[in-house]
Structures are given as structure tokens and as C-alpha cells.
């Protein structure tokens, strides 16, 4: 690196927020030339943006033999194999892109991130994301205790950048974990708990995620709850909120995808989120091209700027108990052990955290959820979650396979419905 990279968190906090968040793609290509072209196109987009290098699936699970075979055979991977490309190759990818006005984050999805993090430290790259829960339970069968240990070591290795005068930044993926059918109180709680885990292991620059779900009003309440808990519990003031465009089944029509992306931009703008991770209008049909990613970034930037300049007054959502629920879950877990990693393991063992429809062996699987008539995610069965009385699950409906599939496709069907005038 020709100069020390900027603090990713500080950059985003200073450039985002106040209704105009920094925008970021979900982009990764195995070919170095194409990866570099994607970063440069993102930098040149008509938007305040940050870059992304998304790692391939083989690297995420530690299958270096498969990566090396693919690279030898010239096969395309679904991301950039950062741990197996030579360091000089990655430095060339970053040349002309990474700089004081354009930080780059590496995104991966690994329950065993040690090799990835060591590569980042060697390269001087200082922004990544994940978490011991959010990159374990949805993605495989790695034991939660093993993931916690892996992430403990990875955090401690990542803080080695501090010795070089570089501020490492870590984003929790907890607010996105199987978010399409997990009521928002638990997503907020896991995001906060993972951030506290990162802080306990030496990270001072943090971001906390929340994934757009099924109800705009419920989402606004959830982001407000997330911000309130961060203000109360995080020891550092170098933190920001990142909103993700919907992570579930995406609309199949162009007008449906555009409408959903616009609502994600409005959610980020109306809640003061400092960063927005976008999807493209082609998410339902394949891996987006560089041009499609740039178009999505610029569209999101226009939507948030329009929302901001128009002085749109979004009503304060009613208090339905999301803050109370998230706070109760966070404190119940923290009371289990002074070591937050150990507390997380115990919380899942006793059902204080329990993700609906998640089949990982360390998830009790006693909770169920559904989408109500107003489009809100509700608990059908809250299992052993230590929820306040006001948000306890009421009489639940019977969950059937057809009902579950209908809930999973709710957003797709809603936004693929007949387009509004002018959105053809």
C-alpha cells in the first residue's frame, strides 16, 4: 500500500447519514482484471460509494484445493479468492481504486475466517464483516463453540493492524441472519451482541447491520431500536448503522425490483442509516454485471438524495415493543457470562436466542414466526426466548409447508404485483 488506509467507519460516518447514506454494492469476481474494473466503476459511479470485494464460496469454507484447481483451470468462481491470489495480484486489483476517498471492504461469509483475516492484515486492508453467530448458524454445520473460537482469534489477529497505525473496522452481519422470517427484535439483539463481542476483543471501529424485511413501518421501528441500544451499550462512539436491501426472494419483474430497491433507499434515508448495501434489479436472474451494480448504486443514491432534498416527513412508527424485546434479549444473554462468546453459546443452548426455521444443530428450533395481515413479522411461538410480556407470542396459527412458502415469497409477490402508474 502506498499510504495508510482510512478508517472505514470514520469515513462512512463523515460522508453518510443525515438522510444521504454511503452506498455499497455486493460485488465479487474471481478474475483480477474484472474485480479491479468493478472497483474502479464503483468509485466512478455518480454516488458517494465504498468498494466491495466479496470472497468466493470455496474460500469461505476453507477449501483451498478447490480454489487452486479452479484458478489453474481458469474456471470462474462466485467471488474473489483473496487468500489464494498472490498478494501482488490483489495489490494490482486495488491500484487506482483504493484511496482516501474510496475505502474497500472485504465481505466473505465464513465461520472460520482466520486465513482470510491474516490475508487482509498482510495486505493492510482494514474493513471486513461477519460474526460468530451470523456467519455460523445459517451457512453450515460448524459447531457454534468452534465458530466463537475462530472469531475470537480472528478479531485478535485483525487488531494487529493497530500496531501498524491502521484502524481495523468490523461489521456485524447479525441483523441480516436469515432475516426474511426472523422477527426484528431478535435480529437487532444479535447485531448488538456481535458488536459487543467485537469490542470485547479489541475492535473500536464498528458497524451494525439491519436487513430490510416485510414491513417498512416495522423496519423503521427496528432501526430506531438498534440505534438506541448502540447508544446505550457500545463503549465506542465510532459506530454506524448499515441497512441492507431485502435479503430474501427478490421480485422477478423489473418494476418489482425497482420498487423494492426504492423502499430500501427510503428506509436508509428516513432512519439516518449511514450506509446502504444495494442489490440490483437482476438479483432474481443471476450474478449482476458491473454495469448493473453501478446502475443500482446510482439509483439508490438518487432515491436517497431525493428523499432528503424533498424534506419528506416520515411519521414516527408506533412503539410495538421491538426495542423492549431486543433489550431484554441482549441483557438476558449478557447476564449469562462475562465472556460474550461463552454467553452466546449458552444462550443458544438454553433457547434465549433461537432462530426460526434454522436447522443448525446448535439452534434449538423451538421458535416459529409468520407474516400477519399487515405484513409484519410476528412470533407464532417464542419458545424459551426471554421476551417481555407485551411482545410474547399470542395464539399462533398452524404453520404448514404451504404457509411457510407463502411467507417466504411474500415480498416477491407484493412487489411483483401490478406496477404503479409511471413505473412501467
Half-sphere exposure of 287 (CA within 13 A, CB side): 11
Mean pLDDT in residue range 125-149:
95
In DSSP terms, 107 is beta-bridged to: 54
Q: Could you tell me if 52 and 104 are in contact, meaning their C-beta atoms sit under 8 angstroms apart? A: yes
Q: Could you tell me if 138 and 178 are in contact, meaning their C-beta atoms sit under 8 angstroms apart? A: yes
- Tell whether 122 is covered by a domain: yes
Tell which residue, 181, 157, 182, 180, has the closest CA to residue 170.
157
Query: In which band, very low, low, confident or very high, does the pLDDT at 376 lie, cut at 50, 70 and 90?
Result: very high
Q: Note the pLDDT of residue 312.
A: 61
Q: Note the pLDDT of residue 140.
A: 83
The secondary element (H helix, E strand) that includes residue 266 is helix 254-271
Query: Total domain count for the chain?
Result: 1
DSSP 8-state class, residue 364: -
Span 163-217, pLDDT tens digits? 999 999 999 999 998 777 999 999 999 999 999 999 999 999 999 999 999 999 9
Cell of 421: 402508474
Q: Could you tell me if 83 and 71 are in contact, meaning their C-beta atoms sit under 8 angstroms apart? A: no
Q: Note the pLDDT of residue 4.
A: 75
- Structure-derived torsion over alpha carbons of residues 281, 125, 175, 354, reported in degrees to the nearest 10: 120
pTM (2 decimals)?
Answer: 0.95
- Tell whether 189 is covered by a domain: yes
Q: Could you tell me if 192 and 229 are in contact, meaning their C-beta atoms sit under 8 angstroms apart? A: yes
CA 120/CA 123 separation, integer angstroms: 5
- Tell whether 297 is covered by a domain: yes
Query: Is residue 423's pLDDT more than 60?
Result: no
Residue 154: CB partners within 8 Å, gap ≥ 6? 113, 114, 117
Residue 76: CB partners within 8 Å, gap ≥ 6? 30, 31, 70
Query: In which band, very low, low, confident or very high, does the pLDDT at 225 lie, cut at 50, 70 and 90?
Result: very high
CA 366/CA 257 separation, integer angstroms: 33
Q: Note the pLDDT of residue 22.
A: 97
Exposed / middle / buried, residue 315 (Cβ in 10 Å: 0-12, 13-18, 19+): exposed
Mean pLDDT in residue range 100-121:
96
Cell of 254: 423489473
- Tell whether 115 is covered by a domain: yes
CA 279/CA 298 separation, integer angstroms: 12
Q: Note the pLDDT of residue 278.
A: 95
Mean pLDDT in residue range 93-120:
95
- Collapsing DSSP states into helix, strand and coil, what is residue 164? helix
CA 247/CA 180 separation, integer angstroms: 7
CB atoms within 10 A of CB 279: 24
Phi, psi of 169 (to 5 degrees): -125, 135
Helices (H) and strands (E) in the chain, counts: 15, 10
Q: Find the domain containing 237 and state its range.
A: 8-309
Angle of helix 216-233 relative to helix 322-334, nearest 10 degrees? 40
Mean pLDDT in residue range 57-86:
94
Q: Could you tell me if 326 and 196 are in contact, meaning their C-beta atoms sit under 8 angstroms apart? A: no
Mean pLDDT in residue range 361-373:
94
CA 284/CA 356 separation, integer angstroms: 24
Lowest mean pLDDT among 14-28, 114-128, 363-377: 14-28
CB atoms within 10 A of CB 373: 5
Q: Note the pLDDT of residue 88.
A: 97
- Tell whether 145 is covered by a domain: yes
- Tell whether 334 is covered by a domain: no
Residue 67: which CATH number?
3.20.20.240
Lowest mean pLDDT among 52-61, 137-146, 354-363, 383-392: 383-392
User: How far is it between the farthest Cα atoms of the chain?
Assistant: 61
- Tell whether 256 is covered by a domain: yes
DSSP 8-state class, residue 419: P
Q: Could you tell me if 391 and 327 are in contact, meaning their C-beta atoms sit under 8 angstroms apart? A: no
Query: In which band, very low, low, confident or very high, does the pLDDT at 139 lie, cut at 50, 70 and 90?
Result: confident
CA 296/CA 346 separation, integer angstroms: 41
Phi, psi of 54 (to 5 degrees): -95, 130
- Tell whether 416 is covered by a domain: no
- Collapsing DSSP states into helix, strand and coil, what is residue 12? helix
Beta strands at 22-24 and 51-54: parallel, antiparallel or unpaired? unpaired
Query: Is residue 92's pLDDT more than 80?
Result: yes
Exposed / middle / buried, residue 236 (Cβ in 10 Å: 0-12, 13-18, 19+): middle
21 vs 283, higher pLDDT: 21
Span 299-338, pLDDT tens digits? 999 999 887 666 666 778 889 999 999 999 999 999 999 9
Span 53-71, pLDDT tens digits? 999 999 999 999 999 999 9
Would you say the C-alpha torsion 350, 355, 356, 361 has a positive or negative sign?
Answer: negative
In 136-208, alpha helices (H): 144-158, 184-200
Tell which residue, 186, 239, 175, has the closest CA to residue 212.
175
Residue 360 CA, distance from chain mean position = 20
Amino acid at each position: 500500500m502506498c499510504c495508510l488506509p482510512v478508517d472505514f467507519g470514520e469515513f462512512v460516518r463523515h460522508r453518510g447519514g443525515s438522510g444521504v447514506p454511503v452506498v455499497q454494492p455486493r460485488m465479487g469476481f474471481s478474475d483480477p482484471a474484472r474485480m479491479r474494473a468493478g472497483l474502479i466503476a464503483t468509485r466512478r459511479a455518480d454516488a458517494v460509494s465504498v468498494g466491495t470485494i466479496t470472497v468466493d464460496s470455496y474460500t469461505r469454507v476453507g477449501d483451498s484445493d478447490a480454489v487452486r484447481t479452479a484458478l489453474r483451470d481458469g474456471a470462474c468462481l462466485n467471488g474473489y479468492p483473496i487468500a489464494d491470489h498472490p498478494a501482488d495480484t490483489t495489490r494490482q486489483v486495488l491500484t487506482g481504486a483504493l484511496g482516501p476517498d474510496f475505502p474497500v471492504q472485504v465481505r466473505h461469509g465464513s465461520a472460520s475466517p482466520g486465513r482470510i483475516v491474516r490475508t487482509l492484515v498482510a495486505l493492510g486492508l482494514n474493513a471486513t464483516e461477519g460474526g460468530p453467530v451470523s456467519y455460523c448458524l445459517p451457512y453450515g454445520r460448524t459447531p457454534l463453540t468452534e465458530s466463537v473460537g475462530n472469531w475470537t482469534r480472528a478479531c485478535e489477529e485483525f487488531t494487529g493492524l493497530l500496531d501498524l497505525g491502521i484502524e481495523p473496522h468490523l461489521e456485524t452481519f447479525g441483523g441480516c441472519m436469515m432475516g426474511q422470517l426472523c422477527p426484528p427484535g431478535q435480529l437487532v439483539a444479535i447485531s448488538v451482541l456481535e458488536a459487543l463481542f467485537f469490542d470485547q476483543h479489541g475492535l473500536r471501529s464498528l458497524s451494525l447491520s439491519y436487513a430490510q424485511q416485510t414491513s417498512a413501518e416495522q423496519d423503521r421501528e427496528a432501526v430506531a431500536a438498534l440505534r438506541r441500544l448502540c447508544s446505550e451499550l457500545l463503549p465506542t462512539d465510532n459506530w454506524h448503522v448499515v441497512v441492507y436491501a431485502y435479503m430474501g426472494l427478490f421480485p422477478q419483474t423489473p418494476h418489482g425490483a425497482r420498487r423494492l430497491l426504492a423502499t430500501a433507499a427510503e428506509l436508509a434515508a428516513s432512519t439516518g442509516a449511514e450506509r446502504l448495501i444495494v442489490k440490483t434489479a437482476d438479483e432474481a436472474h443471476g450474478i449482476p454485471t458491473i454495469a448493473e451494480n453501478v446502475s443500482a448504486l446510482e439509483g439508490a443514491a438518487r432515491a436517497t438524495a431525493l428523499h432528503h432534498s424533498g424534506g419528506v416527513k416520515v411519521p414516527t412508527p408506533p412503539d410495538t415493543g421491538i426495542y423492549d424485546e431486543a433489550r431484554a434479549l441482549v441483557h438476558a444473554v449478557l447476564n449469562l457470562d462475562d465472556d460474550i462468546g461463552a454467553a452466546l453459546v449458552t444462550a443458544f443452548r438454553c433457547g434465549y436466542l433461537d432462530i426460526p426455521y434454522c436447522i443448525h444443530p446448535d439452534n434449538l428450533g423451538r421458535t416459529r414466526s409468520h407474516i400477519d395481515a399487515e405484513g409484519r413479522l410476528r412470533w407464532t411461538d417464542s419458545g424459551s426466548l426471554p421476551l417481555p410480556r407485551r411482545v410474547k407470542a399470542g395464539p399462533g396459527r398452524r404453520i404448514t409447508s404451504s404457509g411457510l412458502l407463502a411467507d417466504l415469497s411474500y415480498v416477491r409477490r407484493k412487489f411483483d404485483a401490478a406496477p404503479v402508474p409511471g413505473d412501467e
